């Protein structure tokens, strides 16, 4: 469940500490716990900001962070948005 093949020939793969859906759940729990629904964050703020310093997702690779946020978007808990200086996310 935590291994994902990166190519069709199965010559390279990614081993994940947690699946994107699990990371998304942790992020959304943090948002809910801190009353941050209807807030907008940059990807940098989530992965590297002072507010998330003590959270498990702090320092998460941007590609995995995006996948976690996409999982939340599919659940209608967040929306990935384009900002002037990159990408962000709004939580519901």
* pTM assigned to the model: 0.84
CATH numbers and ranges of domains, the chain: 19-91 (1.10.10.10)
Specify the pLDDT at position 1: 66
Residues of the chain with pLDDT under 50: none
Q: How confident is the model at residue 73, as a pLDDT? A: 97
Residue-level pLDDT at 3: 81
* pLDDT at residue 52, as a whole number: 95
Cβ distance 46 to 89 under 8 Å?
yes
> For residue 76, what pLDDT is reported?
96
Annotate 18-77 with three-state secondary structure.
CCHHHHHHHHHHHHHHCCCCCCEEEHHHHHHCHHHCCCCCCCCCHHHHHHHHHHHHHCCC
């Amino acid at each position: 469940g935590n291994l994902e093949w990166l190519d069709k020939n199965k010559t390279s793969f990614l081993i994940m500490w947690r699946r994107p859906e699990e990371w998304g759940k942790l992020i959304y729990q943090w948002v809910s716990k801190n009353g941050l629904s209807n807030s907008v964050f940059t990807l940098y703020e989530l992965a590297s900001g002072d507010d998330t310093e003590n959270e498990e997702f702090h320092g998460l690779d941007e590609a995995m962070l995006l996948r976690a946020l996409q999982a939340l978007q599919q659940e209608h808990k967040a929306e990935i948005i384009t900002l002037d200086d990159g990408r962000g996310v709004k939580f519901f």
